[in-house]
Amino acid sequence: MHLLLLAALACLTATAIAAPGRKPATPSPKPATPASDSTSPPSFAAPADAASPAAASAPKITFSQCHVEGPYIAMTFDDGPHGANTPRLLDMLKQRKIHATFFVVGQCAAEFPDIMKRIVAEGHEIANHSWSHPQLSSMSESGVRDQLQKTHDAIIQTTGVTPKVMRPPYGAFTARQRSWANGTWGYKCILWDVDPLDWKVRNAEHVKHEILKATVGGSIILSHDIHKTTVDAMPETLDGLAAKGFKFVTVSELIAMDRPVPPKPKATPAAKPETSEGSKTEAGKTPPVPAAPDSTPAPKAKP
């Protein structure tokens, strides 16, 4: 597990937008700016096959959080679908008219086609989280292709929808792999900035507390619908986020609202890249947030 951790951290560091220091302060979500909702100009939207331009204008393909105008956030649920917990979560989301994003594991998608159909029918986004949850960053290209293609196909077969984004298990995906997956399937690589460590601390109160504490406008919140305690946490978590003024959108909706962070006037290249909004986290600073990114073992036993 240590190796996985290190690899994941190295990967996250290399993304250069690894989750910036959390701002535990209250999110001060402004009242919704309706304009963002309806117009949501995809400020960076570049087709996957855009001619690889110079780095300066290269399309952004990795997101840990978004810079958006308005209190928009994306709830994301990984590693399912799960036969019991995912339907329960879907009930909660439906009751609240909330759309989330499900990063499914292909072998689970194939096992629960009806749940897959329900996820899509109820307006949620489905995304690729590999076939069997391996650490992709240490695999061969053909192995990675197999993991992502089989899941891509399973999602299309069960739902008729083509996934647009992916999340690597453990957050472990090299820059080269991200670029390749973007060119191959058009995938954006979605990481996260809020991690309640719900796979580790199986306590609903903890999950709720961590999410409510760390979420800010533009946050991408990681959790796992395979864990009962995570789903148990959701009614109060979702209601608590809504009470703070947050608006729930899918990941693809959130990244379509993403705008460049205004450049900071000061340019001290040697300075420690500590807090900046993800613009220069390249140096060996360990990102503080995803201490144990998504370290859920591959879901083995299905109920």
Comparing C-alpha atoms, which of 19, 70, 32, 68 is closest to residue 260? Answer: 68
Closer CB to Ni ion, 115 or 256, in the complex:
115
- Report the catalytic residues: 78, 224
Closest approach of Cβ 203 to Ni ion, in Å? 19
In the bound state, the residue with its beta carbon closest to Ni ion is: 78
Closer CB to Ni ion, 226 or 257, in the complex:
226
Range 147-176, binding Ni ion (CB under 5 A): 169
Closest approach of Cβ 222 to Ni ion, in Å? 9
Closest approach of Cβ 130 to Ni ion, in Å? 8
The phi and psi torsions of 302 (rounded to 5 degrees) equal -95, 140
Closer CB to Ni ion, 72 or 173, in the complex:
173
How many chain residues interact with Ni ion (CB under 5 A)?
5
Residue at 132: amino acid letter: S
Range 113-152, binding Ni ion (CB under 5 A): none
Closest approach of Cβ 282 to Ni ion, in Å? 25
∠62-67-69 over CA atoms, to 5°? Answer: 145
Q: How far apart (Å, rounded) are the C-alpha atoms in residues 133 and 63?
A: 20
Q: How far apart (Å, rounded) are the C-alpha atoms in residues 183 and 141?
A: 13
Site string for Ni ion, 49-78 (x = CB under 5 A): -----------------------------x
Closer CB to Ni ion, 63 or 72, in the complex:
63
Q: How far apart (Å, rounded) are the C-alpha atoms in residues 217 and 65?
A: 9
| Cis check: omega of the bond before 81, within 30 degrees of 0 | yes
Helix and strand numbers (H, E) in the chain are 10, 8
- Residues lying near Ni ion in the complex (CB under 5 A) are found at 78-79, 169, 294, 296
